[in-house]
Amino acid sequence: MSKTAIVIISDPKSGAEESLGRLLNAMAAAYDFKVANEDVQIIFTGPGTRWPEYLQKEDHIGHKIYKEIEDKITGVSAACSQLYGANPSGLDLISNNPVPGTAGLPSLVQLQKDGYSVLVF
């Protein structure tokens, strides 16, 4: 069984089609791994910490797939949530990379040590 961590960094506030495309492709990949019964987790970091607030709204194009993969979301970067003013309601804050001067970020090294391949969207 493979282990994959999908890291979403695209910015919903950019308004660019590319940003939305990266998000939707990341969620489609997560769904693909999930239905194949592969170990997958999703992490929002950087300006991507803003996405959950958008995706929780029923009228968002990505809402349905978000609900399908919601159980695979590990959480959002603690430091990035603060920096970008994100409101990750109901999601865990990840801070296992204690970068000095921050509230902590997700550790990509730890994911790798735990056997995860890391995909960044």
Averages of pLDDT over runs of 10 residues in the chain (121 residues) are 96 91 98 98 98 96 98 97 91 97 97 98 98
Q: Please report the domains of the chain, with CATH numbers, ordered by start residue.
A: 3-120 (3.40.1260.10)
Q: Interior CA angle at 21 toward 97 and 120, to 5°?
A: 25
pTM of the model: 0.95
What pLDDT does residue 89 have? 84
What pLDDT does residue 119 have? 98
Cα 90 to Cα 80: distance, rounded to the nearest angstrom:
16
Structure tokens at 41: 């987790």
Cα 92 to Cα 49: distance, rounded to the nearest angstrom:
11
